[in-house]
Chains A and B, each alone.
Chain A
Amino acid sequence: MMGGNTANKPKLLVSGKRVDGRGVEDLRQIKIVARVLNDADGSAYIEWGKNKILAGVYGPSECIPRHDQSLYRAIVKCRYNMAPFSGMEEHGRSGPSRRSKELSKVIKEAFENVIIAESFPKTQIEIFVEVLQSDGGTRCAAVTAAAVALADAGIPMKDLINAVAVCKIDGEMAVDPGKEEDNFGESDMPIAFSPRTGDILLYQMDGLLTREELARGLELAKGATEKIRKIQVDAIGKVYAEPKEERFLVIK
Chain B
Amino acid sequence: MESINEIKRDTLSALLSSGKRGDNRGMYDYRAISVQPGILQNAEGSAMASIGKSQVMVGVKFDIAKPFPDRPTEGVLSTSADLLPLASHLFETGPPSENAIELARVVDRGIRSSNTLDLSSFFIEAEKVLALYVDIYVLDHDGNLIDCSSLAAMAALLSTRMPKVEEGKIIRGEYAGKLPLKDIVVTSTFGKLGERTFIDPSLDEEKGMDCRLTLATTPKHLCAAQKGGWGAISERDLMGLLDISMEKGKELRALLPKE
Partner of A249, one of B61, B84, B139: B139
B-contact bits for A83-102, CB 8 A (1 contact / 0 none) = 11111111100110000000
- Within the assembled complex, what's the spacing in Å between the Cα atoms of A61 and B50? 27
Known contacts: A39-B87, A43-B86. The answer to whether A88 contacts B133 by CB under 8 A is no
Interface residue tally for chain A (C-beta within 8 Å): 37
A133 at the interface (CB under 8 A from B): yes
Partner of A251, one of B39, B95, B133, B173: B39
B26 at the interface (CB under 8 A from A): no
A243 to chain B, nearest CB (A): 16
Prevailing SS type, chain B contact patch: strand
Stretch at the interface among A17-25, A51-59, A110-118, A161-169: A51-59
A240 at the interface (CB under 8 A from B): no
Give chain A residues whose Cβ lies under 8 Å from the Cβ of B55. Answer: 37-38, 248-249
Partner of A39, one of B40, B41, B46, B142: B142
**Cβ–Cβ contact A126 & B39, under 8 A:** no
A246 at the interface (CB under 8 A from B): yes
Most chain-B Cβ atoms within 10 A of its Cβ — which of A40, A43, A94, A250? Answer: A40
- Within the assembled complex, what's the spacing in Å between the Cα atoms of A56 and B83? 13
B147 at the interface (CB under 8 A from A): no
**Cβ–Cβ contact B86 & A54, under 8 A:** yes
Size bracket, chain B contacts: 35 or more
**Cβ–Cβ contact B42 & A134, under 8 A:** yes
Partner of B61, one of A50, A54, A84, A95: A84
Give chain A residues whose Cβ lies under 8 Å from the Cβ of B142. Answer: 38-39
**Closest partner residue, chain A, to B134 (CB atom):** A85
Interface residues of B in 56-88 (CB under 8 A from A): 57, 59-63, 80, 82, 84-88
**Closest partner residue, chain B, to A248 (CB atom):** B50
- Within the assembled complex, what's the spacing in Å between the Cα atoms of A83 and B173? 18
Give chain A residues whose Cβ lies under 8 Å from the Cβ of B95. Answer: 95
Interface residues of B in 126-144 (CB under 8 A from A): 131, 133, 135, 137, 139-142
B43 at the interface (CB under 8 A from A): yes
Give chain B residues whose Cβ lies under 8 Å from the Cβ of A132. Answer: 40, 57, 59, 137
**Cβ–Cβ contact A248 & B34, under 8 A:** yes
Partner of B85, one of A79, A85, A91, A246: A79
**Cβ–Cβ contact A37 & B36, under 8 A:** no
B258 at the interface (CB under 8 A from A): no
**Cβ–Cβ contact B61 & A90, under 8 A:** yes
**Closest partner residue, chain B, to A134 (CB atom):** B42
**Cβ–Cβ contact A85 & B86, under 8 A:** no
A130 at the interface (CB under 8 A from B): yes
**Closest partner residue, chain B, to A246 (CB atom):** B53
**Closest partner residue, chain B, to A39 (CB atom):** B88
Please list 17 pairs of residues, one from A and one from B, whose beta carbons are closer than 8 Å in the complex, sorted by A's number: A37-B86, A37-B140, A38-B53, A50-B42, A52-B40, A61-B89, A79-B85, A83-B59, A85-B46, A91-B131, A133-B40, A248-B34, A248-B55, A249-B55, A251-B39, A251-B48, A252-B39
